[in-house]
Amino acid sequence: MSGEPARDARFDGGRGRWVGASVPRREDPRLLSGRGRFVDDVHLTGMLHAGFVRATVAHAHLTGVDLEATRAVPGVVAAFDAADLDLGDVVALLDRPPEEFTPTTMPVLARDKIRFVGEPVAVVVARDPYAVEDGIEATVVSTDPLPAVVSEQTALAADAPAVHDEAPGNVLLDVTMFDTPGVDEAFAAAAADGIVVDLVTHSARQNALPLETRGVVAAWDDHDDQLHVQICTQVPHQVRTVIAHSMRVPERTVRVTVPDMGGGFGQKCVVGREEIAVAALARRLDAPVKWIEDRREALTAGFLAREQRYRSRAAFDTDGHITALDVDIACDMGAYSCYPFTAGIEPLMAAAEMPSVYRVPAYRVRARALTTNKAPSAPYRGVSRPQYVLAIERVMEHAARLLDLDPVEIRRRNVITEFPWTGINAVTYDPGSYLESLELAETIMRDEGWTALRERALGEGRFVGIGYCCFSERTGYGSEAFAKRKMQVVPGFDISEIRMDTTGAVVVTSGTMNHGQSHETTLAQIVAEKLGIDIAQVKLRQGDTERIAYGWGTFASRSATIGGSAVSLAAGRLGELLCRIAAHLLETRPENVALDGEGGVVQLDDPTQRISFADIADVAYLRAHLLPKEVEPTLSATASFDVPGDGTFSNATHAAVVELDPGTGRVEFLRYACVEDCGVVIHPQVVEGQARGGIAQGIAGALYEQVTYADNGEPSAASFIDYLVPTATEVPDISVDHLETPCATTENGAKGAGEGGTIGAPATVLNAVNDALRHTGVELDDTPVHPQTVLAALDDAATSREEATA
Amino acid sequence: MTSERQLVVLAVNGTEHELLLEPRQILSDVLRHELGLTGTHVGCEHGVCGACTVLVDGEPVRSCLVFAVQAEDAEVRTVESLGEGAELTDLQQAFRAHHGLQCGFCTAGFLMLAEGFLLQEPDAGRDEVREAVSANLCRCTGYQNIVDAVADTAARRRGSPGSSTQEAAP
């Protein structure tokens, strides 16, 4: 069971000349000198500005929109309500029976009904953004209010008003995904000889909060016979589809391009209604139109996530082995289903993967998506995994305490160690380093003296705790894995095209979409490595529906795994073509040449015979008569890649040491360690950056951020004064250790690295806080943990201690 | 409602600009949309995130909280003033070396914040740098690499590079 942590498996860089090296990021010079081009930096001649009149009540019949005064405001050019614009609704569907899934639609502008505060009701277009605000202020909206549905309790109450008439019970998805044999028997056995953990965990609604809000500039182009939509989105092709559908125009007449993007974290991987309206306005008004979401809109009316409740029951034998898991999950998805994922995104992810890194022999789960009068939900970095990992990790902690086992030991006894492992959830897990990461994290805590401090602190009257979280993250969901979700559109593959120009430089396309992940560098590293050329000779193209045949964009940690594999395959094919031409020019057999790693092809039996890519390119384009007969005069190749089976799992263990301040209730980090395994690391510095940034967002969810509402559905965290985003003084330094279990199914051995940090941090922090409170009898199972919660726990403990000694 | 425009002279990055502005136009909008200096970004428009930080007479200022007319008679510096042509300054190079940016949206704000801070507090150590950096929001990096980049720049400007990272110990 135990053993030395696999320190020798730590990644030490140096895999290749490019892959494995922290090369300087190629996107940095422009971003550092203010020469990036974000969507709000786009300025077109004659450009108009749009803004939205938004609902101020959470639930109501919409009885009138009066735009007369709006249109009279100086500077205002036009104003429209839903009837004026007459756009098709956004519809996201699952291929599931009616008892499991209730389809609903999201209008571009609210038509008859208002379903959340902030819902767009009308749009105002003016010559400048200041006049837009004047126009919005002049608009009169009449409503007939209904009681608001703002919680699981109010949504599921017998007399609850329906948010959507199609879903009278306010449930959009209700699935019992697993009910394997032996669940009840295991609980009966555990009740007799073992333990049963029964606990409820909540996580608050959160905003993914890219620092750049959403935005769009749309303009009709007569030359191209196209509407050009410049937008910050993670999924340009899906935006094109929905805009074309909603405007009822051929998809060919819409071109979507993406400039530099200031983060997304999932919020921008769904299609927003405002962007569709602006596209339609550009056509209607025959002028370029821009809309930039302001922060208040982003906080109240943007896509949100994470408001979930788990009731987890788990049976354990006396040795601490889990014998059954029975879970009920409710996700508050807000007012609408997002495209393309639907309101099933969170409950389906949670139910499918809840057993996590543990060998669970019997499993039952019911998961529901509730609809409420709140801004709708979208995927947010980690999608349900921060929540189900929190639930299962709290289960482990409770069980460890009941059985008087060390928290690491109970995990050691349950964690999957044999691979591939097909779990009770019918998911096959590819090889990872679950146990190794756990033990390395434990070693770090022990060797650095934190374990000793934890023991010592109590005697000094200090509240110091250590928390662990061991988890995996499915990355690179291919078509096969996504098909199991039963979405009507099934994401998965990626396509790459590579072209070499007359000088030997290449341009490579990817259907993924960089928004901070460093694709311009990392995907170029893969190509440079594969072809044996300098990275300066590689240029990446993304985010243009005219240039990229099709793409699913970037989400679910798919870019390095799927996008990286596609560019690698395309580069490999181009390499083969180069070799074929070179063999002909060198007058030798094709088997007798190979890429030389220095931008050329070498003859194997006589290395003095070499021809550079530039010389091959010169022949391919400018002296095509020299080409072999069977080769056409172009240097390009295309490849697609799809991950087979259930995808590939990254994994990690986090360990945090916290100290609670008995005066303020503040949770202070003394140490945060991340041991992660994302397979072959393409760029260590980038992977570490993803881990740290992800952990910061997980800490935000654990201790600070919470989207709150009054009982009438009015948002009460509409600015950064109330929505508390952690700063440099709340987020600690984080060490990152790499283990490396190469992925067998991706071209480069890489697994995804984008979400893991966010997934592991909430459970790590909550476990550490509880460990610091271990002598008080208090158990906290909800996030965020506010200072007042910690203070109350410490006060309770002090009171009961006094009572005990009195 | 629209109010009468005023002739305003703004000195930005060493150049004087005559502009006809509404009194309600904020400095960040004028820099970005009237002068085309789009390196300064706008993240919250209520003075919390700091993405719009510029230097006004050497002091880091939220340009979303200042009306452009208030900046008359002051020297405004934006991110575009850093470096010569394609040449990056030591601070910009440190951000690159330490991977102190991911999406790059908040970066100009942090650069101008740090530029102003280091002019005022050249002797700042890593803790003081962290405190200063906490003025702005970054959603990508977790801040560690930003703190490292600024602390490293401070140390290099003092002639003692390489003492930036700090190991936690019980």
| CB-CB neighbors (< 8 A) of A697 in chain B | 139
Three-state secondary-structure class, residue A672: strand
The pLDDT value recorded for residue B166 is: 55
| CB-CB neighbors (< 8 A) of A444 in chain B | none
Looking at per-residue confidence, does B161 or A356 come out higher?
A356
Q: Tell me the nearest-neighbour CA distance from B80 into chain A, angstroms.
A: 6
CA A639 and chain centroid, separation: 25
Tokens at residue B28, please?
Answer: 């960040």
CB-based contact A125:A119 (threshold 8 Å): no
Q: Across the interface, do A260 and B104 touch by the CB < 8 Å criterion? A: yes
- For residue A34, give the nearest of B39, B48, B134 by CB distance: B39
Mean pLDDT of chain A: 95
User: Domain boundary at B56, B81, B106, which?
Assistant: B81
How many distinct structural domains can be found in chain B?
A: 2
Could you give the count of Cα atoms lying within 13 Å of A135 in the half-sphere of its Cβ? 29
pLDDT exceeds 70 at position A2: no
* Closest residue in chain A to residue B166, using alpha carbons only: A733
For residues A534-549, average pLDDT: 97
The pLDDT value recorded for residue B167 is: 59
For A646-692, the pLDDT digits (tens) are: 999 999 999 999 999 999 999 999 999 999 999 999 999 999 999 99
Tokens at residue A458, please?
Answer: 């109590």
């060493």: which residue's tokens?
B14
For A474-530, the pLDDT digits (tens) are: 998 889 988 888 888 899 999 999 999 999 999 999 999 999 999 999 999 999 999
Percentages (nearest 5) of helix, strand, coil residues in chain A: 30, 25, 45
One domain for residues B22 and B77: yes
Tokens at residue A233, please?
Answer: 């989105």
Written as one string, the DSSP assignment of A75-87 is TEEEEEEHHHH--
Three-state secondary-structure class, residue A244: helix
Q: What does the alpha-carbon distance between residue A558 and residue A33 come to, in Å, rounded to a whole number?
A: 30
For A257-270, the pLDDT digits (tens) are: 999 999 999 999 99
Interface of B with A in 22-81 (CB under 8 A): 22, 24-25, 29, 32-33, 36-46, 48-49, 51, 78-80
- For residue B79, give the nearest of A33, A75, A449 by CB distance: A33
- For residue B103, give the nearest of A22, A515, A694 by CB distance: A515
For A120-150, the pLDDT digits (tens) are: 999 999 999 999 999 999 999 999 999 999 9
- For residue A692, give the nearest of B144, B168, B169 by CB distance: B144
| Other beta carbons less than 10 A from residue A375's beta carbon | 27
Q: Across the interface, do B139 and A670 touch by the CB < 8 Å criterion? A: no
Q: Class for domain A493-641, per CATH?
A: alpha beta
- Torsion sign (Cα): A624, A626, A629, A635: negative
B142 in contact with chain A, both atoms CB, cutoff 8 A: yes
For B45-99, the pLDDT digits (tens) are: 999 999 999 999 999 999 999 999 999 999 999 999 998 878 999 999 999 999 9
Q: What does the alpha-carbon distance between residue A51 and residue A351 come to, in Å, rounded to a whole number?
A: 39
**Tell me, what CATH number does B41's domain have?**
3.10.20.30
The pLDDT value recorded for residue A13 is: 36
Find the domain containing B112 and state its range: 90-157
| Other beta carbons less than 10 A from residue A21's beta carbon | 18
């550079």: which residue's tokens?
A612
Q: What does the alpha-carbon distance between residue A796 and residue A773 come to, in Å, rounded to a whole number?
A: 11
Predicted ipTM of the assembly: 0.96
Q: What does the alpha-carbon distance between residue B126 and residue B129 come to, in Å, rounded to a whole number?
A: 5
User: Domain boundary at B59, B81, B103, which?
Assistant: B81
For residues A607-626, average pLDDT: 97
| Topology (CATH) of A1-7+415-490+646-806 | Aldehyde Oxidoreductase; domain 4 (3.30.365)
Distance of CA A332 to CAs A88, A203, A204, A374, Å?
A: 26, 10, 10, 9
CA A438 and chain centroid, separation: 24
H/E stretch holding A50: strand A48-54
DSSP B88: P
pLDDT exceeds 90 at position A194: yes
The residues pairing with B11 across neighbouring beta strands, listed in sequence order, are B16, B75
Q: Across the interface, do B134 and A729 touch by the CB < 8 Å criterion? A: yes
Three-state secondary-structure class, residue A693: helix
The pLDDT value recorded for residue A216 is: 98
| CB-CB neighbors (< 8 A) of B134 in chain A | 727-730
**Residue B167 located in a structural domain:** no
pLDDT exceeds 70 at position A14: no
Tokens at residue A534, please?
Answer: 């300098």
- For residue A211, give the nearest of B1, B38, B137 by CB distance: B137
Q: Across the interface, do A43 and B33 touch by the CB < 8 Å criterion? A: yes
The pLDDT value recorded for residue A799 is: 78
Q: In percent, how much of chain A has pLDDT > 90?
A: 93
- For residue B144, give the nearest of A134, A294, A734 by CB distance: A734
């990644």: which residue's tokens?
A11
* Closest residue in chain A to residue B81, using alpha carbons only: A33
Least reliable range by pLDDT among A138-147, A153-162, A405-414, A788-797: A788-797
The residues pairing with A467 across neighbouring beta strands, listed in sequence order, are A656
| Packing angle of the helix pair B107-120, B126-133 (nearest 10 deg) | 130
The residues pairing with A589 across neighbouring beta strands, listed in sequence order, are none
Q: Tell me the nearest-neighbour CA distance from A694 into chain B, angstroms.
A: 7
H/E stretch holding B6: strand B6-12
For A195-253, the pLDDT digits (tens) are: 999 999 999 999 999 999 999 999 999 999 999 999 999 999 999 999 999 999 999 99
The pLDDT value recorded for residue B2 is: 52
The residues pairing with A653 across neighbouring beta strands, listed in sequence order, are A470, A675
Disruptive mutation site among A267, A295, A658, A733 for chain B (greatest number of B CBs within 10 Å): A733
**B1 pLDDT band (50/70/90 cuts)?**
very low
Domain ranges of chain A: 1-7+415-490+646-806, 493-641
One domain for residues B11 and B66: yes
One domain for residues B61 and B125: no
One domain for residues B11 and B76: yes
The pLDDT value recorded for residue B11 is: 98
One domain for residues B106 and B153: yes
| Region of residue A314 (phi > 0: left; psi between -120 and 50: alpha; otherwise: beta) | beta
């370029």: which residue's tokens?
A288
Q: Across the interface, do A731 and B144 touch by the CB < 8 Å criterion? A: yes
One domain for residues B56 and B106: no
Q: In percent, how much of chain A has pLDDT > 70?
A: 98
CB-based contact A85:A108 (threshold 8 Å): yes
CA angle A199, A200, A202 (to 5 degrees): 150
Q: What does the alpha-carbon distance between residue A309 and residue A297 come to, in Å, rounded to a whole number?
A: 26
One domain for residues B96 and B149: yes
Q: What does the alpha-carbon distance between residue A291 and residue A241 come to, in Å, rounded to a whole number?
A: 20
For A565-601, the pLDDT digits (tens) are: 999 999 999 999 999 999 999 999 999 999 999 999 9
Contacts of residue A152, Cβ cutoff 8 Å, sequence gap at least 6: A309, A330, A332, A370
Same CATH topology for A1-7+415-490+646-806 and A493-641: the answer is yes
For residues A63-84, average pLDDT: 98
One domain for residues B97 and B70: no
One domain for residues B74 and B134: no
The pLDDT value recorded for residue A798 is: 77
The pLDDT value recorded for residue A471 is: 98
CB-based contact A654:A717 (threshold 8 Å): no
The residues pairing with A179 across neighbouring beta strands, listed in sequence order, are A364
Q: What does the alpha-carbon distance between residue A189 and residue B161 come to, in Å, rounded to a whole number?
A: 64
- Spell out a b/e string for A382-391, using b for 16 or more CB atoms within 10 Å of the CB, else e: bbbbbbbbbb
**Tell me, what CATH number does B120's domain have?**
1.10.150.120
3-state secondary structure A186-208: HHHHHHHCCEEEEEEEEECCECC
- For residue B46, give the nearest of A33, A693, A719 by CB distance: A719
Three-state secondary-structure class, residue A509: strand
User: Domain boundary at B58, B81, B104, which?
Assistant: B81
| Region of residue A311 (phi > 0: left; psi between -120 and 50: alpha; otherwise: beta) | beta
> Residue A705's closest CA among B157, B116, B139, B108?
B139
The pLDDT value recorded for residue A4 is: 36
One domain for residues B17 and B75: yes
One domain for residues B100 and B68: no
For B60-69, the pLDDT digits (tens) are: 999 999 999 9
One domain for residues B10 and B36: yes
């985003």: which residue's tokens?
A725
pLDDT exceeds 60 at position A398: yes
Interface of B with A in 78-117 (CB under 8 A): 78-80, 82-83, 86, 88, 92, 95-97, 99, 101-108, 111
